[in-house]
A and B are shown apart, each in its own frame.
Chain A
Amino acid sequence: MSDTPKPEEILSRSHTPPKTGWMDTPINIRPGMYCYASNPKSVDYVGLPYPRQWNPMEDDWNLPENWKEIIFEGMRDRLDRFRSFKVFMDICVRCGACADKCHFFIGTGDPKNMPVLRAELIRSVYRNDFTRFGKIFGKMAGARPMTLDVLKEWWYYLFQCTECRRCSVFCPYGIDTAEITIIGRELLNLLGLNIDWIATPVANCYRTGNHLGIQPHAYKDMIDFFCEDIEEITGVLPKPSLNRKGAEILFITPSGDVFADPGTYTAMGYLILFDFLEKKYGLDITWSTYASEGGNFGFFTSHETMKRLNAKMYAEAKRLGVKWILGGECGHMWRVINQYMDTMNGPADHLEVPVSPITGTRFENAASTRMVHITEFLSDLIYHDKLDLDPSRNDHLKVTFHDSCNPARGMGLLDEPRYVIQSVCKNFYEMPSNTIREQTFCCGSGAGLNAGEDMELRLSGGLPRANAVRHVHEKHGVNMLACICAIDRAVLPPLMEYWVPEVDVTGICEMVGNALNLPGQKKRTTDLRSEDLPGMEEEEDADE
């Protein structure tokens, strides 16, 4: 009851917000908009500084006494090490091109979620303490001193950015605000100010190889279970291998595919695909219970943590002696792979430039990383007519495609997913052009913000995406939202439930699994979710 406002409080409230400048508008940390503070055990496990209990809603965040010094040293170090950070601090002219492009600004209506303003939170301190101009002219030059309130503002708003990079598409200077968020979060981590939805997956990943802390036997149990389910549905029991030395290809996918619905159906799609390719063309592929996580929440913590967690991909590939790596449907995993992995943990000289053993296609785009995306691999197979597909099993679906931010903007993967979808389903409708491809709107829950306690942030941040989905639902009757990211598959269902409840969510490989004919299969009457395939039962009756 302590939160219930008093009558006089209600009466005195104005419905028009104060017209103060952003520097003078105090921070209001609102439940529903932030994620819980990191568990000290998790922070400690990976050796990050200042593990302790703290609560964002309390005045005292139990900061180390010299916290300002730590921040300034951290900034100085990063300004030296990352030229991008230095340039991005200096060159913004505040033209406002990015201002209205952020899904969090559009959805929450909070001006501090304009990318330019979110960056100004840090830039103002940079000006104050690192530029002569700011030191002399102070507030007139957009500078302000670092205070506890400023630090809290950093924490609140840097964890209201999904690092999706939509704003960077519109910046005439090419400023990547996501990189500012990345550095900002790194600075906060110097003070132990992470969120638990990131810190604990990081610790788990470091310990068992995946975000959930799943041990190898449980991972294997889940894969076995999927195979049994596939047998029930198709009459064919796939026999995948795990941790098999000498395999040609290592397959790595986010653990969400193995442990969280509806990603699990995507995992079943992979298993069906690999079984088909193995029986028909002798595909030699193995899964790993050690490299059991494609995702990398270290990316949302610090460059060093990202590197440590990513290292297992090449290490496992080396241990097993594979030639190259195939990667599943994940979002930020691909940004890490495409933009960082080679520099951080390469060169992967123990691997070869990926060549499809079935079509002979050499994946030049992966010549350096030695890792191919599943939809690239699939597109090549479909293009060469190597799959036996029956798209009619997806006839009841009217599909649209949500470009996941990282594959779209972080690696330019735009056409392959669409090619695969349209090969396995005849009903495909695009959302409006300013909401897809390079301009895709984020799901609103990426970069470690897919916790439960920040649901209002997620639902408001996801509004622009949901709004475009609603449009194609109303115009074309779209009932399925396809995506290629494990976080999307986890967070889009609740987003749809709130904004467009008639639309469900699927991974692309789930649709492939439904369409793909397995040699020796029985009559398929249900999809991978064990739901009846409309029309297929009637066909059965007619046969009788």
Chain B
Amino acid sequence: MKLESVLVKKQTAIVKKWFDLVVDTYPADTSRFLKRQKDPFANPVGSTTLEGLKAIFTDLMGELEPESAMGHIDPIIRIRAVQNFTPGQATGFVLSLKKIVRDQLGDDAGDPERRKELEAFDARVDQLCLIAFDVFVKCREKIFQIQATEQRNRFFKAFERAGLVSEIPEKETDSGKSDLTQ
């Protein structure tokens, strides 16, 4: 049986283990809550993570479509990017899928044919990890951009609209010269 077929059969167990592992990156009290509470609105972190992992796992069953993978991993990483994680901690869970899959395969993982398939699978996981890192950086940049924009807009915009800010007159901008030089 092809690796993908085996993994699809074991999908529920693998995703559950993967989810547990991601959730265990939180403190124990939090991790218990994230696993227990099923309401997506009472527990957005847990439900977003679980839904995301399910979709990503499906993405990994064939050639990785970067756009689809990015769409599925974005919600998970977006959350972790504002939480108390280093970049490695925020994205590292992707790589742990390799071990989970091997554990699930047991002795079968040592089979030479299987090892070749696993190598290809590993490469897709690595690619996914890089996508996760890209998303993480994008989110962090977004946070800083929001911060910078907010500072600028907070009151300046209103003052500007009210004409309380003295702006460079139009003609100076057009001619590129100031009145003094004309």
Which residues of A line the B interface, CB within 8 A? Answer: 5, 10, 13, 15-17, 19, 25, 28, 30, 32-33, 99-100, 105-111, 114, 212, 218, 221-222, 225, 229, 258-261, 264, 432, 434-435, 452-453, 455-456, 459-460, 463-464, 467-468, 471, 490, 494, 497-499
Of the A-B pairs whose beta carbons lie under 8 Å apart in the complex, a sample of 8, sorted by A's number, is A16-B24, A100-B43, A109-B27, A109-B34, A218-B164, A261-B157, A452-B154, A463-B44
Contact between chains at B79 and A463 (CB < 8 Å) = yes
Contact between chains at A463 and B45 (CB < 8 Å) = yes
Bound Cα distance A212, B48 (Å): 39
Find chain B residues with CB under 8 A from A16 CB: 24-25
Which listed residue, B153, B157, B164, touches A221 by the CB 8 Å rule? B164
Contact between chains at B83 and A108 (CB < 8 Å) = yes
Find chain A residues with CB under 8 A from B30 CB: 105, 109-111
Bound Cα distance A111, B28 (Å): 9
Q: Does B150 contact A (CB under 8 A)?
A: yes
Which listed residue, B25, B28, B164, touches A15 by the CB 8 Å rule? B25
Interface of B is mostly: helix
Q: Given A110-B27, A497-B146, check contact A432 B41 (CB 8 Å).
A: yes
Contact between chains at A221 and B41 (CB < 8 Å) = no
| Nearest 10 interchain pairs by C-beta | A467-B44, A111-B29, A225-B162, A460-B82, A109-B30, A459-B82, A109-B26, A494-B146, A432-B41, A456-B82
Contact between chains at A455 and B162 (CB < 8 Å) = no
B31 vs chain A, min Cβ distance (A): 9
Enumerate B3-30 residues with CB–CB distance to A below 8 Å. Answer: 24-30
Q: Does B120 contact A (CB under 8 A)?
A: no
Q: Given A100-B42, A109-B83, check contact A114 B29 (CB 8 Å).
A: yes
Contact between chains at B88 and A464 (CB < 8 Å) = no
Q: Does B39 contact A (CB under 8 A)?
A: yes
Find chain A residues with CB under 8 A from B162 CB: 221-222, 225
Closest to A263 in B: B158
A523 vs chain B, min Cβ distance (A): 23
Find chain B residues with CB under 8 A from A455 CB: 143, 146-147, 150
Contact between chains at B143 and A456 (CB < 8 Å) = yes
Q: Given A109-B84, A455-B147, A494-B146, check contact A434 B27 (CB 8 Å).
A: no
Closest to A456 in B: B82
A4 vs chain B, min Cβ distance (A): 11
B1 vs chain A, min Cβ distance (A): 32
Find chain A residues with CB under 8 A from B42 CB: 100, 106, 434, 464
Bound Cα distance A186, B162 (Å): 38
Contact between chains at A434 and B39 (CB < 8 Å) = yes
Q: Does B106 contact A (CB under 8 A)?
A: no
Knowing that A460-B83, A467-B48 touch, tell me 14 more A-B residue pairs with CB under 8 angstroms.
A13-B88, A99-B33, A111-B30, A258-B158, A452-B147, A456-B82, A459-B143, A467-B41, A471-B40, A494-B149, A494-B150, A497-B146, A498-B139, A499-B78
Closest to A214 in B: B155
Find chain B residues with CB under 8 A from A260 CB: 154-155, 158
Find chain A residues with CB under 8 A from B33 CB: 99-100
B127 vs chain A, min Cβ distance (A): 21
- Which of A105, A106, A264 has the most C-beta atoms of chain B within 10 angstroms of its own C-beta? A106
